[in-house]
Amino acid sequence: MAPFEDTLPGHGLVFIFTPVKGIQGTSSAQHLGLFNLTNNGNSNNHVFGVEFDVFMNQEFDDINNNHVGIDINSLKSYVSHDVGFWSDDEKSEKDKIFKKLKLNNGENYQVWIDYEDSLINVTLAKLAQQVN
């Protein structure tokens, strides 16, 4: 999203699952190349996506300008969360601390998207960092 620190980033990116190859009528910028003004939110889209978004768009009810969202047929995320990770520094689960990461800081990240049935887990870490 931002190859170098302190540069104007793109709006974000979305990793999508679709039932067919290719999507018609997409738009860039805040639509992330996934939808456009007229087809966003259409239940006939049959699209599932994980968005990594660095702009806060009021029309999509974004929680902030640095979040991961789960999108179903729309860029209004079904659920979204700040970007970061739970610290493994603490011994007990209840004492773990959420450490925020900034998606457009010029650093490279790696992402794992694991799913089974209706459960999805998105894990993000700095490139080459070990993840449990």
Here the CATH number for the domain that contains residue 80 is 2.60.120.200
77 close to 70: Cβ distance less than 8 angstroms? yes
Residue 5 belongs to some domain of the structure: no
Q: What is the pLDDT of residues 89-124, one digit of tens each?
A: 767 777 788 889 888 888 888 899 999 998 999 988
Q: Does 40 fall in a domain?
A: yes
Which of the two residues, 8 and 75, has the higher pLDDT score? 75
Q: Is residue 20 part of a domain?
A: yes
Whether residue 90 contacts residue 84, with contact meaning beta carbons closer than 8 Å, is answered with no
pLDDT in tens, 18-67: 777 766 655 555 555 566 667 666 777 778 889 998 888 888 888 999 99
**Is position 50 within any domain?**
yes
Domain annotation covers residue 6: no
Distance CA 36, CA 31 (A): 6
∠ CA 115-32-37, rounded to 5°: 115
Evaluate if residue 76 carries a pLDDT over 80: yes
Number of domains observed in the structure of the chain: 1
Q: Which domain holds residue 61?
A: 12-126
Using the structure block, give the residue that is written with the tokens 């190349």.
33
Q: Is 65 inside any structural domain?
A: yes
